[in-house]
Structure 1
C-alpha cells in the first residue's frame, strides 16, 4: 500500500499507444505528483433491445465491446454496457450509434470524471498500487494550497507586455520589460522574450497550485499566450512541459490549460460563491471588500497613465502592477474563496475551477447511488417537458404603509419539500410503474407518484441538511454556503433541460407543492390567529399584526407563531399523506414600519418590492430595501440616496418636505452632478442591438467609435458596465461628456418615481410639492 494522499488538482484523458489513459495531478502534503492510470475503459449504456443492431454497426471496431448488464433504465428496460479501450474508438462508436438513432445513456460522462465519482472520490484521494499500476481510492485529506496572484500591464493595444507582477505569500516580484532602477523585488528584462522566459522560471520556482487573477484567463493568460506565440517562445506555466493553451468556448468563456495547476478568475469565482456587486471591476470590488483600491484611481485615464509611468516612472508602474496582485490575493482571502471551493469539491466532487456545474454536481451525488440501486440515468433531458410548471409562488400583495409586520420564512423550502414528499427520479419511475403497495406511495403533481422505498434524493438532501446545520454550529461559513447552494441546485436542475434527469413532473411537484404550502399557511394564519397576510413570496409570508399592536415581546410572539405553524404542518402531513414533515418555518424579522408599494401606473400591489425598518435582535434598527431603486444598480446614486433619506424620515415620522425642495434645488444648481451617473451592464455585443438601442448602448457605441478612430482596441466586453449621463443631446459616456446635463430628466425620471412610491400612502404628491420650485429654473 502506498501512503501518498492528496487532492486531484487537474484531470485529463488521452490516448497513449492506442489505449485510454487517465492523468491526475495530485497535490500531496509534500508537493505535486502526476498519477497516470491505465487499463480503464470509456463507458456508456444502451437498451438491451438495441444490442444486436449496435453490434452490427460496431463489429469492425477493435477495442469496442457490448456486454449485458444487470442494470435497467428508469422505464424498466434492461441495458447493456458499451466499453471502449481508447478515446478514438469511443468517439467513433458513439458517432455511429447516434447516426443510427440508437438511444445512448450517460455517454457524455467523461471517463476521467466517471473514474472519480464511481469511487466516491470528491476531493481527497489515496494512491494505491495494483498489478495493473497505480489507482486512486477515496480519502479525506485536503492539503494546504499555494496561491500565486498574477497581473500584467501592457500597451493600450495589448501588443506588448510592459511588466508582470507575481505574488505568492510573502514572495513578490515584478518582471519589468526594459531598464528600471534596481530594487529588491524588481527583475529587469532586456526585452519581451526574456520577460516571458523569466516568467516561466519564476512560476517554476514558486511552484503554485492555484494561479489567481482578475480576468486572468480572458486577458492576462490570453495575452501571454499570444505574445509567446508571436515571439516564438514556448511558454510552459504548468507542472509538465506542455505550453500554455488558452481557448474560448462557444459560449464565449475562456479556458486555460495548465496541467498540474488550477487557474481561478476572481470575477467568476466570486459570482460562483454567490457574491454580488454592483460592478465587478477590481477597483470596485476591492473598495467594497477591502476599503482600498488601485493605485491609479481614475479608470478613464488609467490606460494612458500606465503608458506614462512606463516611460517616466517605471518604479511607480511596478508598484501599481504589484498592488493589483495584492488586491486579488486579499479579496480571495476576505471572501474565503479557496475554502469555499475546497468545501464545494469535498461536497460535490466538482473541480476547483469549474464555473457553475450544478448539473454535474447533481450527477456526482446521484449517479453512483442510482447505479447501486440497479439503474442507469435516462437519455439526456428526455423527461416530460410540455407541462404547466410555474416558478416560485408570489402572492398578490396588499399595498400600504404599515406598522408591525412579521416575516415568517420556510427554511430551505424546496429541499424540505423534496425530503417530505419523497420527490426523486427513481422514486417517480418506481411509483408510476403501477405495482407499488399503496402505503409506499406519495402523490405529487401532474400525475406524479413517488415510491418512498426507492427514493434516493431525499436521503441526499437530509445528509446535506445535517451537514449544513453542523457547519453553522462550527462557524464554517464556507461549507455552509457550499451546502446551501447545492441543496437549492438539487431542485433547480430537475427543472432545467441541461440536466439529464429533467422532468417537469419532478420540478412541478416541488413548485406547486410550495404554492400550496404558502397559500395554506396564509389562510391558517388569517383564520386561526386573526392577522392579515399582506404578501407571500416563494418561501416567506408577511404578517401584519395591526398598526395598534402593543409591541410587547413581539419577537417572542413571532417565535410562538412559527412554532405553532410547524406543529400544525406536522399534523397535516401525517394525517393527509402519512409522511413526516421536514418543513421548518422560522421567525425571520419584525418590521416596525413597512411599505408595500403599488405597481407603477396601477392600483395593484407590487411584487418582490418593499422597504421597511427592521428591528435587529440587539435592539438596533436597519433600513431595508428589496427590489426598489435603492438596491437597483440601473438607478443613479441620486435616486438611491434620495430614497434612503426620504423613506427613513417618513418611517421615523420626521419632517421630510424640505428634503424634496432641497434635492430639486441641488439638481438644478449642479451641485450633485457626480450622483447623476447611470451604470448599466452590456448584455450582448453592441452589434447585436439593432432594433432597440437603449441609452447605455448608445453611450457605449460613442466611446467605442472614438477608440476605433484612435486605433485603440474595444473597451467593452459582454458583461461590462458603461457609465453615462443623460444630456440635452441624449446619453453620453462619462469619458466623452461634452453637452449640458439634462437636469429636468433627473427630476422626472429619478426623483419623482422614488417619491411617488411612498407619498400617496400619506396623501401627498411629489409633483404638487415641487412644481412651484421647478418653475423657478
Structure 2
C-alpha cells in the first residue's frame, strides 16, 4: 500500500503527457521505452470532487445515488457518491459523467442554501470542497503517473527562442526564431517579407516545424515569462492559429500559476491588480521553463551569478568558447547588418537551454514519476503544496479514507529553528559538518507526524523516500560517469531529497497545507535544538572553534596542526553520539572563511573559486559594481593581504570618479509594488526613485510586479535602463531625461555611489578587520591624512562572540534529559 501511495498502482509505461477535459474525456500520449514510437490512448474517466456534505446535491433527488451496480452510473445526469471512512471532514466522493454538470449541480444547491449566487466551487472554501484540475482527477483516480520505465533521454525535447524587435508585443514584432529539434539539429526561421504578412508567415512555419518534429516537451529559458506570452499576443494580432498541441486547435490555453505572464495588463495596472498570473499549456506536450530549474537550484546551492541564461550557462560550463554574445537591445540592429552573427547567437541560446534542461531538469522528471500532476505543473510547483499534497490526497483516496479539511490553527506560533553565531571575522582551516535532513530525520526517529494524519501517510512517505534515496545514491555512484543510468539515479535522488526536506515545512505551514500541525512541528524543532546543542557542545569539547551552527550543519575552525584525518575523526566521534536516525557527515574543508552574520559568509576552498553565501554578499537588488568590488576584496582578505583590500577599494573609488564604471554596473533592479494611481496619490508627500525614474523617462503606465533597473543620476535625477527579456544581456542605458543613449552616458551621481561603496559594501568586511585597520583601508584616497597608519603588519581578525554554554545547549539537568530521549550515552 505504501509503495502505491508513493508511485501509484497502474503499471502503464511510457506516459509522456496527459490531457483531460471536464466532460470525462482523457487523452494519454505514451512513448515505448527506448524507441521513438508514440501512441495516443483515448480514455474515459468520471470527473469527481470531495464534499464535506451532500446537502448541496439533495436537490437532485433520484439523480443522486450511492455508488454500486444499481446506481446507473452510466446514465446521463446521475451523480454517484461514496462515503469515505474515518473522521475527516471531506468524506463524500461524488462523481458524474460530466464534471461541468457536477460542478453546476453543487453550485445550484449551495446558492439555494446560502440565499445568494455562488459562482465558483472555490468560493465554498477548502473546508467544504476539494476539486482538482481534470488531469489530476484522472491521475489520482487511475493511479497512473508520468514516465514509468522511461529515462530522461527517452523524451523528445525541442527548444525554441524568439528574437524580437523590442519587448512590447503591442508594437514590436518577431523577426527570427531559433529552433533545436529532438535530434539536436538547430536552425533559424526568419521573416521573408515586411509587415504583418511576413511575420504571420514566420509564425505559421514555426507551428508547422513544431508539429512536424512532434516533441513531448518544449523548453526554453523564460519560456513562460517572455516567449509564449509574446508569441500568443502576436499570433492573436495577426490572426494566426497556434495549433502547437497534439490535439490541434484550440491553441495555447492558460493555467493559474504563482509565476508566469500577468494576463490582462491595462493602463494604471488595475487589471494586473485583479488578474491572476498564468502559464500556458496545450494538449499533448509539456512546456518546461528552465528558469524554474535555475531558481530551484540557486535556492539551495546559492552559487549562481544570476538567473539569466547566458550567465548560468557560463557558470555551469555549458557555454562554448566561441559563444556569440550580443546585447539584448541591439539584436535587431545587428541583424540588419550581420544576420549570420544573430543566427549563431540565437542557435547558441537554444543549445544552452537544452543543456540547462538536461543538467538541472532531472529532479522534476523524477518527481513526475511519483506525484499525480502534469510534468509541466510540477516544474513550477512548490514541494509542499505542489508535491506532498497530491501524494497525500491520492494515498487517502486509495485507502478509502476521508480527508481532513484545511485548518487555520489554534493560534499557536511556530517556533523558529535554532541558529547560532559563535564567531565573526576571518577563520582559517575551516570544516563543515553536515546534518543530513535533520528535521525529517527527527520526525522518523521520534515518529512525529500530523495529528490528523490517521493513516500516518506523511511519515510513511518520508520513510520510503529516505530508504529509496539511499538506494538511488548508491546506484548512481556505481554507474559510469555521464551515463544515462547515472543521470537517472542522481535525478531520482535529488527529487526525493526535495520532497523529504519539505516534510517539516509542510508540517509547520499552518493553514496552508492539509495536514499542517504546528504542535508537531514545534516538537520536531525542540528535538532539533537539543541535537544541535549536543553537537555544538561536543565539538567544542574536542578543541575546535565554533563559527556558525544551524539545522543544516556546523562550521568550525580547527588547529593549524590538524590534518584532514583529524577533522574526519572528530566529526565521526560526535556523529556517534547523535540519535540513530540523525546522521552527521563530513561535508567539506576550506582554507578560510569570513563570517559576517548568520547564514551570510564567504568560503575559500583549498582549491577552487571563492564561494559567497547570503544576501549580504549576493542579492539580485545589489549594484554590480559593489558586488564586483566585494568579491575581489573578500578574496584578498581571506588571503590575508589587507594592503590589497585597500588597493581594490582605491581602484574602485577612482574608477567611479573618472566614470570608467559603465552605468549598468551602478543600477539596482527593483520590483514595482505600487500601481501608477497609488504612487501619484502619495507623490507629494514622498518621492521614490523607481517611480520617478519611470515618470522622468515618459513611462506613465506600468504593471505591478514589473522589474526595472534604476540609478541615481547627477543633480538628484532618476535614471532608467530598459530590462532585457530574460536578464541575459546588459540593456542599453537611457539618460536621466529618457532619451535612448547611443553610447553609455555615465551620468550617475559619482559621490553617491562612492558613499554607497563604503557604507554598504565595504561595511561587510568590518568584522574581519580591527577598527583602526578598517578606517585606514577605507579612507578616502583623495583626502590623505597626516597620521595614516601603515598596513604592512595588518592582519584579518576573528572575534569569538559566544560559547556553547547555558541551558540552550543542554547543560546540567537538560543535558541528561536530552541523552535519555536520544537513547545515547551521556
Fold match (TM-score > 0.5):
yes
1:122 aligns with 2:131: no
The alpha-carbon distance between structure 1 residues 764 and 634, as it changes in their structure 2 partners (threshold 3 A), is farther
* Aligned residue in 1 for 2:504: 491
Q: Deviations over 1:161-181 (max 9, x none)?
A: 43333221344443332259x
The alpha-carbon distance between structure 1 residues 166 and 765, as it changes in their structure 2 partners (threshold 3 A), is same
Rounded to whole Å, the distance in 2 between the matches of 1:689 and 1:583 is 52
Q: Deviations over 1:354-393 (max 9, x none)?
A: 11142232134333443455523211x2262521113332
Give 1:639's match in structure 2, choosing from 616, 623, 626.
626
* Aligned residue in 2 for 1:390: 415
Q: 1:353, CA displacement in angstroms?
A: 0.9
Q: 1:568, CA displacement in angstroms?
A: 1.6
1:152 aligns with 2:181: no
1:377 aligns with 2:403: yes
SS in 2 for 1:81: strand
Deviates more, 1:287-296 or 1:556-565: 287-296
Give 2:749's match in structure 1, choosing from 742, 749, 753.
742
Write the mapping of 1:140-219 to structure 2, written as runs, cut at 5 A: 144-156=154-166, 157-158=168-169, 159=171, 160-168=173-181, 169-178=183-192, 191-219=198-226
| Pairs aligned (count) | 684
Give 1:668's match in structure 2, choosing from 645, 654, 657.
657
* Aligned residue in 2 for 1:435: none
Q: 1:772, CA displacement in angstroms?
A: 6.2
Write the mapping of 1:370-519 to structure 2, written as runs, cut at 5 A: 370-371=396-397, 373=399, 375-379=401-405, 381-382=406-407, 384=409, 386-425=411-450, 455-470=459-474, 472-473=476-477, 474=479, 475-476=486-487, 477-496=490-509, 497-519=511-533
* Aligned residue in 2 for 1:59: 61
1:94 aligns with 2:85: no
**Preserved contact between residue 600 and residue 617 of structure 2 (Cα < 8 Å):** no
SS in 1 for 2:581: coil
Q: 1:482, CA displacement in angstroms?
A: 1.9
Give 1:280's match in structure 2, choosing from 307, 321, 332.
307
SS in 2 for 1:722: strand
Q: 1:149, CA displacement in angstroms?
A: 1.8
Q: 1:287, CA displacement in angstroms?
A: 4.0
**TM-score, structure 1 as length reference:** 0.77
* Aligned residue in 1 for 2:574: 565
Rounded to whole Å, the distance in 2 between the matches of 1:336 and 1:626 is 20
The alpha-carbon distance between structure 1 residues 224 and 749, as it changes in their structure 2 partners (threshold 3 A), is closer
More strand by share: 1
Q: 1:413, CA displacement in angstroms?
A: 1.3
1:23 aligns with 2:27: yes
**TM-score, structure 2 as length reference:** 0.73
Q: 1:744, CA displacement in angstroms?
A: 2.5
1:261 aligns with 2:288: no
The alpha-carbon distance between structure 1 residues 589 and 35, as it changes in their structure 2 partners (threshold 3 A), is same
RMSD: 3.9
Q: 1:343, CA displacement in angstroms?
A: 1.7
Rounded to whole Å, the distance in 2 between the matches of 1:68 and 1:247 is 32
Give 1:81's match in structure 2, choosing from 80, 85, 93.
93
Q: 1:648, CA displacement in angstroms?
A: 3.3
SS in 2 for 1:202: helix
Rounded to whole Å, the distance in 2 between the matches of 1:320 and 1:675 is 22
Q: 1:609, CA displacement in angstroms?
A: 1.9
Q: Deviations over 1:77-122 (max 9, x none)?
A: 8944323232123212433565558986672234532432354422
Write the mapping of 1:7-46 to structure 2, written as runs, cut at 5 A: 7-15=15-23, 20-28=24-32, 29-46=35-52
Q: 1:143, CA displacement in angstroms?
A: 7.2
**Preserved contact between residue 218 and residue 254 of structure 1 (Cα < 8 Å):** no
Rounded to whole Å, the distance in 2 between the matches of 1:78 and 1:288 is 49
Write the mapping of 1:616-631 to structure 2, written as runs, cut at 5 A: 620=607, 623-627=610-614, 629-631=616-618
Q: Deviations over 1:584-635 (max 9, x none)?
A: 11223344444333xxxxxxxx3222234444xxxx3654432265433433
Write the mapping of 1:728-739 to structure 2, written as runs, cut at 5 A: 728-734=715-721, 735-737=733-735, 738=745
SS in 2 for 1:71: coil
Deviates more, 1:83-92 or 1:383-392: 383-392
Q: Which ranges in structure 2 are unaligned for 5 or more consecutive residues?
A: 1-9, 65-76, 115-123, 263-276, 480-485, 722-732, 736-744, 786-826
**Preserved contact between residue 495 and residue 503 of structure 1 (Cα < 8 Å):** yes
Rounded to whole Å, the distance in 1 between the matches of 2:295 and 2:476 is 22
**Preserved contact between residue 51 and residue 90 of structure 2 (Cα < 8 Å):** no
* Aligned residue in 2 for 1:609: 600
SS in 1 for 2:14: strand
* Aligned residue in 1 for 2:295: 271
The alpha-carbon distance between structure 1 residues 299 and 766, as it changes in their structure 2 partners (threshold 3 A), is farther
**Preserved contact between residue 164 and residue 175 of structure 1 (Cα < 8 Å):** yes
**Preserved contact between residue 84 and residue 402 of structure 2 (Cα < 8 Å):** no
Rounded to whole Å, the distance in 2 between the matches of 1:357 and 1:665 is 46
**Preserved contact between residue 146 and residue 375 of structure 2 (Cα < 8 Å):** no
The alpha-carbon distance between structure 1 residues 166 and 405, as it changes in their structure 2 partners (threshold 3 A), is closer
**Preserved contact between residue 414 and residue 522 of structure 2 (Cα < 8 Å):** yes
**Preserved contact between residue 548 and residue 554 of structure 2 (Cα < 8 Å):** yes
**Preserved contact between residue 44 and residue 81 of structure 1 (Cα < 8 Å):** yes
Q: 1:200, CA displacement in angstroms?
A: 3.0
1:775 aligns with 2:775: no
1:237 aligns with 2:236: no
1:654 aligns with 2:641: yes
Q: Deviations over 1:163-220 (max 9, x none)?
A: 333221344443332259xxxxxxx996344333333332222222222233334443
* Aligned residue in 2 for 1:576: none
Q: Deviations over 1:433-478 (max 9, x none)?
A: xxxxxxxxxxxxxxxxxx9899534423433543453355244333
Rounded to whole Å, the distance in 2 between the matches of 1:747 and 1:454 is 54
Q: 1:697, CA displacement in angstroms?
A: 5.0
